[in-house]
Structure 1
Amino acid sequence: MEKVMYALLLPLVVVSGLVFANREIKNEASKKTTPKPLSAVERKAAREKWEATPAGINFKKWEASPAGKKVYAAEAKIRKHIRASTNMEAVVTALSLPPGARLGFGVMVRLNGDDYILGYGPGKSSEWQQLHRLKVNDQIIIRSHAVSHAPKYLYPIVWLNYVERDRKIIYKRVPRQGGC
């Protein structure tokens, strides 16, 4: 009877030890991976350091150029819609991105008299299949969560949440699960 008891108790002790040891390793790893956020002074110093690099100098020149000012003005026109995530009426003007674009798949649209790049990301996703069926001069309604810019592009980049054509939803972004 004692041998059976020891035979059942020994694996229980070994498994419990492994589970406890694994838990400690995970806790140590999570403590190491969370970086401390930078203070305002550190952020400002890092930004000034970057602005002194050739890339930072070129970016500042682009911001002051007519092309940079045009991009910022176009962003300002739709910023209210972006923040509120409201509908914007757009017309598809081109089915391809400007030459040299590295945004993945996207189309060019006209909103409020200005041209924008609608960026979707990598073009192989099945959820964007309906977006590949858009045609030039299609009238669509879009909602976006962000607008960005880069000196490489002459147009602001609008990242999509929602696209509707002929009162039918053809794309709706699925929020991330399990993240912040």
Structure 2
Amino acid sequence: MKKIIYMLILSLVVVSGLVFANREAKNVVSKKPIPKPLSVAERKAALKKWEATPDGIMFKQWEASPSGKKVYAGEAKIRKHLRAFSDMEAVVTSLSLPPGSRLGFGIMVKINGEDYILSFGTEKSDNTIFNSNNEFEQLHNLKVNDKITIRSHNVSHAPKYSYPIIAGDYVEQNHNVIYKRAPRQGGC
């Protein structure tokens, strides 16, 4: 009987010690300093400094070139739809991205006579024996000249590409959703 009581008291002491130690670990404050955001003047100075670098000079030259102007004009055509997150009717023109692209999975589309890259990011497939889940599975079933409806919040550009790059947030075909970007986890 004494042995059982001693064992119970010992286990209670061990468990309470673990709980107390765990509580202390959660209360530890991070020692990393949080960088304060740059002021407007500091951002402008950093931009001017970058524009003087070879990469900055090359980017400025691209912006002034006919290719850069064409990309910016394409972005301007869809900006209203991006802000409102409204539907854009598109036609699939190619099932692959331009050679040498590093955007992950994407397709080429035409919206109102203008070509765009519709990028979805890197493909993460969980191909195990029991689960063959691929978030882009229905997008792989698209064919050239298929009509789709796109919604996006973001368009970007890069001197490497001759087309504006639309981030694929939502795609539907024949009123059926075939892709919807999952919301970010653990962010603001």
Counterpart-to-counterpart distance in 1, 2:33 and 2:139: 38
Deviation at 1:14, TM superposition (A): 3.3
Task: State the 1:178 CA deviation.
Answer: 2.8
How do 1:152-167 and structure 2 match up within 5 A?
152-167=160-175
Distance 1:33 1:139, change over 3 A: farther
Question: How many aligned residue pairs are there?
Answer: 176
Name the counterpart of 1:127.
135
- Alignment of 1:50 with 2:44, yes or no, is no
Describe the shift of the 1:14–1:65 C-alpha distance in structure 2 as closer, same or farther (beyond 3 A).
same
Which whole-Å CA distance do the structure 1 matches of 2:104 and 2:89 have between them? 23
| Cα RMSD after superposing both structures | 2.1
1:138 is aligned, of 110, 134, 146, to 146
List runs of 5+ in structure 1 lacking aligned partners. none
- Is 2:186 the counterpart of 1:178? yes
Report the secondary structure of 1:28's partner residue.
Answer: coil
Q: Mind listing any 5+ residue stretches in structure 2 that lack a counterpart?
A: 126-133
Q: Normalising by the residue count of structure 2, what TM-score does the alignment of the two structures yield?
A: 0.84
What is the CA-CA distance between 1:45 and the residue it aligns to? Answer: 1.4
Within the candidate set 8, 19, 24, 1:21 is matched to 24
Give the number of the structure whose residues are more often helix, by fraction: 1
- Distance in 2 between the 1:130 and 1:16 partners? 48
* Deviating more after overlay: 159-168 vs 74-83: 159-168
- Secondary structure at the aligned position of 1:78 is classed as helix
The question of 1:147 aligning with 2:149 is answered no
CA change 1:33–1:170 in 2 (3 A) is farther
